[in-house]
Structure 1
Amino acid sequence: MVEYYGWISISDSTYESDDGEMSLILNKLSSYITEYKVQNASGFINVHEVNGSYQVMVSGNTNHLSQDVIEIFNLYEYIARIAIGSYGLLYIRNDESLDACNEFEVLVLARGKVRKEKDTFLSPCIPVIEDDEE
């Protein structure tokens, strides 16, 4: 099983956002989501505006690592490229992963880059959030 939960705060700059630039970014993001059918993933994606700030929320669950989950990873990379001031996290649990089957991994988006980190809050999943089989 693969489960993922994430959020991104969208910004064109690490200092002060420009409304015109943000409009272009949001149009590109909408086109990307449509073109790559990210919206059809085994979960949801929501792009919305709150108090003048733009946010992306994603969440999903699949039986195996599949193309729709990979498209969520690609979405984080795409946003890092087009909106360098954006930041956010994507928590991923893949129980079929050879090196992380009992833990969450975290994609960290900041300053135009995405890097993978180990989770220290919910991992190892057994025993932190689940019991071992008896």
Structure 2
Amino acid sequence: MIEYYGWISLRNSTYENNENEMNSILNKLTLFISEHEFENSTGFIKIHKVNGCCQLLFSGNTNHYSQDVAEIFELYQYVAKISQGSYGLLYVKNDESSDKFNEFEVYVLARGKIKKENDQFLSPCIPKIEDD
């Protein structure tokens, strides 16, 4: 089973947002989501606007590594490329992984780069959140 949970605060700059640039980013992102048919996947994805800020929220659950999961990683990389001021987290648990089956992997998006980190909050899953 593969679970993924993520959020991204969408920003065009690390300083202050430009409304025209943000509209362009949102248009590109909406097109990317539509072309990859995320709406028909095993999870959900939503661009959410609140209090003048834009957020991208997504999560899903599949039986095995699939195209749905691969496309979430593509989406994360795409946001890093087109929206340099964005930041967020992607948590992935893959019980089919030979070395990470008992933990979450955390992908941190900041300043246009994605860095993989160890999870300290929910891992190791046994015994922190599950029984053996």
What TM-score comes out, normalization by structure 2 length? 0.98
1:77-119: per-residue Cα shift (whole Å, max 9, x none)? 0000000000000110000011200000001100001111110
Give the corresponding residue for 1:47: 47
Contact in 2 for aligned 1:12/1:25 (Cα 8 Å):
yes
Q: Which consecutive unaligned segments of at least 5 residues does structure 2 have?
A: none
Partner of 1:24: 24
Partner of 2:106: 106
| Identity fraction in percent | 64
Cα distance in 1 for partners of 2:116, 2:38 equals: 21
Q: 1:70: how far off?
A: 0.9
1:9 maps to a residue whose letter is: S
Which residue in 2 is equivalent to 1:97?
97
**Is there any run of 5+ residues in structure 1 with no aligned partner, and where?**
none
1:70-89 superposed matches below 5 A: 70-89=70-89
Residue 20 (structure 1) shift: 0.3
> What SS does the corresponding residue of 2:57 show, helix, strand or coil?
strand
Q: State the shift of 1:40 in Å.
A: 2.0
Q: Bigger shift: 32-41 or 2-11? A: 32-41
Which residue in the other structure is 1:3 paired with?
A: 3
In the TM superposition, residue 53 of structure 1 has moved relative to its aligned partner by: 0.2
SS of residue in 1 equivalent to 2:15: coil
Q: Following superposition, which runs of at least 4 residues in structure 1 exceed 4 angstroms of deviation?
A: none
Amino acid at match of 2:65: L
* Distance (whole Å) between structure 2 residues aligned to residue 34 and residue 79 of structure 1: 15
Letter in 2 for 1:18: N
